[in-house]
Amino acid sequence: DGGITQSPKYLFRKEGQNVTLSCEQNLNHDAMYWYRQDPGQGLRLIYYSQIVNDFQKGDIAEGYSVSREKKESFPLTVTSAQKNPTAFYLCASSPPAKGSNQPQHFGDGTRLSIL
Amino acid sequence: GQSLEQPSEVTAVEGAIVQINCTYQTSGFYGLSWYQQHDGGAPTFLSYNGLDGLEETGRFSSFLSRSDSYGYLLLQELQMKDSASYFCAVQHAGKSTFGDGTTLTVKP
């Protein structure tokens, strides 16, 4: 079945450590997105990519980095510069967003906590 | 920038109809989407409006008025499983901006 796979489901980060969250999709979607969700709040865009080897900062990119070397993969690194990383991280993909209805398909998320 | 407003909580009884409103301020607006998220789960797409008017998908309908920068999600024949958070999201410039969500509680 086609879908988006995020791993791990739970992740713990030590002070000063970088951690990488995996996101893989087999939907053949061009666009991929990373969101952060804090308890009781909406989704805030961290980074997004419309095509391989290209990505743009979202609204809260500081302390995060991404790469898009393959169409299927869009890993997110939470760096030590992100001082409050505890949150639920969601990855999504969609066909190219060119003004028409392009619903986003979400993975099951990764819960990141500080040790 | 982009901003969306929706009520934080709505409560209704099983079998009833509920409307969740969303107002937005944005540039480069393409359309308004609605997503459902059960507690601890992933958001799932419900509906999209690119043009003014009503879109119907089973028990769910969504409405858009571009001139008023306003939309709503209508849920009919409410079931207990409809208890969840509902997010409106504006599509613009190759990405989406989400509202803070409305928590719907359906009571017996």
> B63 and chain A: CB distance < 8 Å anywhere?
no
In percent, the amount of chain B with pLDDT more than 70 equals 99
Helices vs strands, H then E, count in chain B: 0, 11
pLDDT (0 to 100) of residue A8: 96
| Interface contact flag, A44 B98, Cβ < 8 Å | yes
Pairing of strands B102-107, B9-13: parallel
Q: How far apart are CA A4 and CA B83, in angstroms?
A: 24
Highest mean pLDDT among A2-6, A61-65, B1-5: A61-65
Query: In this predicted structure, what is the pLDDT of residue A98?
Result: 60
Q: In what order do the strands lie in the sheet with B3-5?
A: B3-5, B18-25, B70-75, B60-65, B53-57
For residue A49, how far is the Cα from the chain centroid? 10
Q: Give the CA angle between residues B98, B4, A30 to the nearest 5°.
A: 30
A106's tokens: 């979400």
Contact at CB, B30 and A105, closer than 8 angstroms: no
Cβ burial of B43 (10 Å; 0-12, 13-18, 19+) is: buried
pLDDT at A97: 58
- Percent of residues, chain A, with pLDDT higher than 90: 79
Q: Which residues of A touch B48 (CB under 8 A)?
A: 101, 103
Mean pLDDT of A77-81: 93
